[in-house]
């Protein structure tokens, strides 16, 4: 009766379930469930983190100054308009609390990244999901979903878990159709993997106004998911607001050192992107050949559609017998699908073979 009671919003949240990483009785697990890069950490990042560990009795630089400078140099952005976070997840949370809250609406697309829903609900906002067409974000549906109470629109581009991409022209149409007081959050966690021509990771729209922020991460192509580093590039007023509320020492010592080194690792992004482009296509083709629908993707993962939840579940179980962990999609309202991260060449071949065997034995 007298026990502490969380706010009702908190109890309305279904806790985020991350990709599994262990299988009982299996020694060598192939983890393709969290869209991590397949090549481990960049060697220089590992070295930098180990070196930084000798200083772990010191607080890190609370302003991530060197890291922001390195990001600015790499992407041609003003470091004063960059803020780093404990993964971009931290920044998603702050944005919801800063611009959302009770009485406000936050809009995301139907199969958008679940962190928006979790963070928005926690902040006290109502989270509205705009329908998608063909598992692709629809600008028209988002614009139609806008209410007078709307304060934030989240769009992941490419989107996770669907892999779909909106061209820059559509992103511009979206921004132009939103009221000026609505913050547009462009989550470009997979920007480095995009091959499409008409694409901008977000800086153009950020620079064009004072109401758009771009979020990026070191967790995917840079191979630093375990270090928790993300960043945002936005209007000075938005960056200023985040800096007032973020964890003072949010990016730890080893993470800052690793991220700076990862940015300087020669050829890392180029090699990772080329590998991804090649094996994303090969794995998608293998799925289609086996009779599984593979949705078009610009990320480092493929949404594969097995037709029914029952078949997807059986495929998931079969993959596990081969030591392969992929991501079930029930939490995204896509129980008939599995999301498969593009792994190493060996891992992709193994998954392709397993899926082909599964489909062949299934249909005799």
Ligand X SMILES: *Cc1c(COP(=O)(O)O)cnc(C)c1O
Question: Which chain residues interact with ligand X by CB under 6 A?
Answer: 35, 87-89, 113, 156, 160, 187, 189, 217, 219-220, 225, 230
User: What is the DSSP-derived secondary structure letter of residue 34?
Assistant: S
**Which of residues 33 and 138 has its CB atom nearest to ligand X in the complex?**
33
**Which of residues 189 and 350 has its CB atom nearest to ligand X in the complex?**
189
What is the spatial distance between Cα 30 and Cα 110, in angstroms, rounded to a whole number? 29
Comparing C-alpha atoms, which of 258, 256, 260 is closest to residue 63?
256
What distance lies between CA 172 and its chain's CA centroid? 21
* Least separation in angstroms between CB 94 and ligand X: 12
**Which of residues 60 and 161 has its CB atom nearest to ligand X in the complex?**
161
Label the pairing between strands 150-156 and 183-187: parallel
Give the nearest residue (CB) to ligand X.
87
Listed as own residue / partner, the contacts of 327-334 with beta carbons closer than 8 Å and 24 or more positions apart are 327/19, 327/32, 327/33, 327/34, 327/161, 329/161, 329/303, 331/14, 331/17, 331/114, 332/111, 332/114, 332/161, 333/110, 333/111, 334/111, 334/135, 334/161, 334/303, 334/305
* Least separation in angstroms between CB 69 and ligand X: 20
**Which of residues 175 and 220 has its CB atom nearest to ligand X in the complex?**
220
* Least separation in angstroms between CB 103 and ligand X: 26
Give 293's strand partners: 305
* Least separation in angstroms between CB 108 and ligand X: 11
User: Which H, E and C letters describe 62-109, residue by residue?
Assistant: CCCHHHHHHHHHHHCCCHHHEEEECHHHHHHHHHHHHHCCCCCEEEEE
* Least separation in angstroms between CB 85 and ligand X: 7
**Which of residues 157 and 350 has its CB atom nearest to ligand X in the complex?**
157
**Which of residues 81 and 339 has its CB atom nearest to ligand X in the complex?**
339
**Which of residues 35 and 151 has its CB atom nearest to ligand X in the complex?**
35
**Which of residues 42 and 230 has its CB atom nearest to ligand X in the complex?**
230
* Least separation in angstroms between CB 299 and ligand X: 8
* Least separation in angstroms between CB 213 and ligand X: 13
Residue spans of alpha helices (H) in the chain:
8-11, 43-53, 65-75, 87-99, 114-123, 139-145, 168-177, 203-207, 236-245, 253-264, 268-290, 309-321, 345-363
* Least separation in angstroms between CB 218 and ligand X: 7
Comparing C-alpha atoms, which of 222, 228, 203, 221 is closest to residue 213?
203
């Amino acid at each position: 009766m007298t026990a502490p009671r969380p706010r009702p919003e908190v109890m309305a949240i279904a806790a985020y379930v991350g990709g599994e990483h262990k299988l009982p009785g299996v020694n060598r697990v192939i983890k393709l469930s969290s869209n991590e890069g397949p090549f481990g950490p960049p060697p220089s990042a590992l070295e930098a983190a180990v070196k930084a560990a000798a200083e772990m009795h010191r607080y890190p630089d609370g302003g991530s100054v060197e890291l922001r400078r390195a990001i600015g140099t790499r992407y041609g952005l003003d470091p004063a308009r960059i803020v780093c976070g404990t993964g971009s997840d931290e920044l998603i949370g702050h944005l919801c609390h800063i611009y959302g809250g009770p009485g406000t609406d936050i809009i995301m697309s139907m199969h958008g990244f679940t962190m928006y829903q979790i963070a928005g609900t926690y902040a006290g906002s109502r989270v509205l999901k705009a329908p998608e067409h063909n598992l692709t974000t629809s600008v028209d549906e988002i614009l139609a979903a806008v209410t007078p109470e709307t304060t934030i629109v989240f769009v992941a581009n490419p989107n996770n878990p669907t892999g779909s991409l909106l061209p820059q022209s559509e992103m511009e149409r979206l921004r132009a159709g939103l009221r000026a007081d609505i913050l547009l959050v462009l989550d470009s966690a997979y920007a480095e993997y995009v091959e499409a021509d008409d694409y901008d990771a977000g800086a153009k729209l950020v620079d064009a106004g004072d109401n758009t922020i771009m979020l990026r991460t070191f967790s995917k192509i840079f191979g630093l998911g375990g270090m928790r580093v993300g960043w945002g590039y936005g209007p000075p007023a938005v960056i200023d607001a985040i800096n007032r509320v973020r964890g003072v020492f949010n990016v730890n010592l080893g993470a800052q050192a690793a991220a700076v080194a990862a940015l300087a690792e020669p050829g890392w992004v180029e090699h990772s992107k080329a590998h991804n482009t090649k094996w994303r296509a090969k794995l998608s083709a293998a799925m289609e050949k086996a009779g599984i629908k593979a949705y078009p993707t610009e990320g480092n993962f493929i949404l594969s559609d097995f037709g029914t939840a029952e078949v997807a579940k059986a495929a998931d179980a079969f993959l596990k017998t081969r030591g392969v962990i992929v991501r079930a999609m029930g939490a995204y309202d896509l129980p008939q699908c599995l999301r498969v991260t593009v792994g190493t060449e060996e891992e992709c071949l193994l998954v392709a073979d397993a899926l082909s065997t599964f489909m062949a034995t299934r249909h005799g």
